[in-house]
Amino acid sequence: MYLWLKLLHVFFIIAWFAGLFYLPRIYVNMAMVSPGSVEYQRLLLMAEKLFKFMTPLGLLALLFGFVIPFITQWWGMGWVHTKVTLGVILLGYHGFCWKLLQDFQDNRNRYSHRWYRFFNEVPVVIMALALYLVIFKPF
């Protein structure tokens, strides 16, 4: 049972992270073009569709990530608590991506393309930390 849950968790994590990596890249491009342009509208449509696609993937990744520690009796280990905390932070990042999408939809973007380039690196750092915790189980 554990291996099936692990397979599903890893699958949904990979799929969700593809969206978490790409959506802010779309935002970088949207921040560089005029809100009334055809390019902006095309990028906005891409962002909306990607967000709708990646949301259930993220929820399933989190679901399987929460179930595994109970099945394996790992719930009492500190590294698991830290990894779950990183998952909650990613959920917050995902939610903030939704807020940014709403701002783009309403032509209220406040950030530069450079800010979005930095923002795009947040899930990379979280992924690296989560992988460290899973591989090394430091505490």
Closest CA to 27 of 127, 96, 124, 128: 96
94 in a labelled binding site: no
Distance, CA of 70 to CA of 65 (rounded, Å): 10
Secondary structure (DSSP) of 101-122: HHHHHTT-----HHHHHHHTTH
Task: Please report which confidence band the pLDDT of residue 2 belongs to, taking 50, 70 and 90 as the band edges.
Answer: very high
Distance CA 113, CA 78 (A): 37
pLDDT in tens, 7-26: 999 999 999 999 999 999 99
Joined together, the tokens standing for residue 137 give 């189980």
Q: Residue 10: name the closest of 18, 24, 82 by CA.
A: 18
Q: What is the pLDDT of residue 12?
A: 98
The mean pLDDT of 48-77, rounded to a whole number, is: 96
9 marked as part of a ligand binding site? yes
Residue 47 pLDDT grade (very low, low, confident, very high; cuts 50, 70, 90): very high
pLDDT digits (tens, 9 = 90+) for 67-125: 999 999 999 999 999 999 999 999 999 999 999 999 999 999 999 999 999 999 999 99
pLDDT in the model for residue 7: 98
Two tokens, residue 41? 């509208």
Q: What 3-state class would DSSP assign to 75?
A: coil
At residue 20, the pLDDT reads: 98
